[in-house]
Amino acid sequence: MIIILGVIFFMTIKGYGEIDPLSLEENTKGEINVIDQKDNKSVRINSAGVRDFSMEVRDTNHKVREVILEKREIFNSYYRKPQDINFMWPLRKIAVTSNWGGRVDPIIGTKTSKHNGIDLAASIGTRVYAPASGIVRTARWIRGYGKTVIIDHGDGYSTRFGHLSSYNVKENDFVDKGSIIAKTGNTGRSTGPHLHYEVRYEEQPLNPSDFLGL
């Protein structure tokens, strides 16, 4: 793993010369070195067949900054901004009772570092709708969340629905935007009936309000 000015680059080779900038790996093993003299870059390729590699720039600080900007540009070309994603509301009637971000824990009363989603008021049994089409990756109990559905929408985006009372889908189902996926409840670590709703990109929580025009 190579650290340059506090920045770590990890990428994946997909065939000769093709690069997937969104593959993040913590380390590689059994590496061999290959030198690209033209760009003055050293590439380590995993000889064990995993094919993950890290790029180390051997040049001046100017060259380092150039590569940082290049990788950032590649990443931004893959990352879709919230306003470019057409998510619908997961409930027909919306009342936000707890926002995304720092808050006081409703159970123990201390300030938590972050609330990974938003809470929407709903009585038990309220229908929950898929905000966009995708594949159901999870439809099971998760600690804290209770009965949970997670939908993979592709391009690194997923949505998560917690504290449900029942499921209308099962894992690996394909769901259309607007289809009923579950019903709200009060399961898991909850103080009352509501829907906990999250939007994630590459498993990193994002503010759902940014996708819903709040």
Model pLDDT, residue 124: 97
Q: Residue 137 contacts by C-beta under 8 Å, 6 or more apart in sequence? A: 150, 151, 152, 158, 171, 172
Q: Residues 118, 211: contact at Cβ < 8 Å?
A: no
- Do 26 and 58 have their domain in common? yes
- Do 74 and 179 have their domain in common? no
Instruction: Give the end of a domain, one of 58, 78, 98.
Output: 78
Most confident of 8-12, 106-110, 188-192: 188-192
Model pLDDT, residue 98: 79
Model pLDDT, residue 99: 82
Is the pLDDT reported for residue 31 higher than 60?
A: no
Task: Residue 62: give the domain boundaries.
Answer: 3-78
- Do 60 and 41 have their domain in common? yes
Whose tokens are 């998560």? That residue is: 160
Instruction: Compute CA distances 155 → 25, 85, 103, 205, whole Å.
Output: 18, 11, 30, 15
- Do 159 and 178 have their domain in common? yes
- Do 100 and 47 have their domain in common? no
Instruction: Give the end of a domain, one of 78, 110, 142.
Output: 78
The 10s digit of each residue's pLDDT in 164-201 is 999 999 999 999 999 999 999 999 988 889 999 999 99
Q: Residues 125, 118: contact at Cβ < 8 Å?
A: no
Is the pLDDT reported for residue 67 higher than 50?
A: yes
Stretch 85-93: mean pLDDT:
89
Please count the structural domains in the chain.
Answer: 2
- Do 27 and 128 have their domain in common? no
- Do 93 and 23 have their domain in common? no
DSSP letters spanning 108-121: T-SEEEEE-SEEEE
Please give the structure tokens belonging to residue 104. 């006081």
DSSP 15: S
Burial class (CB in 10 A: 0-12, 13-18, 19+), 193: middle
Q: In CATH, what number is assigned to the domain containing residue 132?
A: 2.70.70.10
> If you average pLDDT over every residue of the chain, what do you get?
72
At residue 115 the predicted structure's pLDDT band, cuts being 50, 70 and 90, is: confident
Cβ atoms within 10 A of the Cβ of 81, count?
9
Looking at 49-63, 80-94, 98-112, which range is the least confident one? 49-63
Nearest to 195 by CA among 151, 150, 152, 165: 165
- Do 159 and 59 have their domain in common? no
DSSP 82: G
Helix (H) or strand (E) holding 64: helix 61-78
- Do 178 and 105 have their domain in common? yes
- Do 200 and 122 have their domain in common? yes
CA distance 161 to 90: 9
At residue 112 the predicted structure's pLDDT band, cuts being 50, 70 and 90, is: low
Question: How far does Cα 199 stand from its chain's mean position?
Answer: 7
Model pLDDT, residue 52: 47
Q: What is the CA radius of gyration of the chain?
A: 21
Model pLDDT, residue 100: 64
- Do 140 and 177 have their domain in common? yes
Most confident of 46-55, 101-110, 201-210: 201-210
Please give the structure tokens belonging to residue 161. 């629905």
Q: What are phi and psi of 70, to 5 degrees?
A: -65, -45
- Do 198 and 147 have their domain in common? yes
Instruction: Give the end of a domain, one of 78, 103, 123.
Output: 78
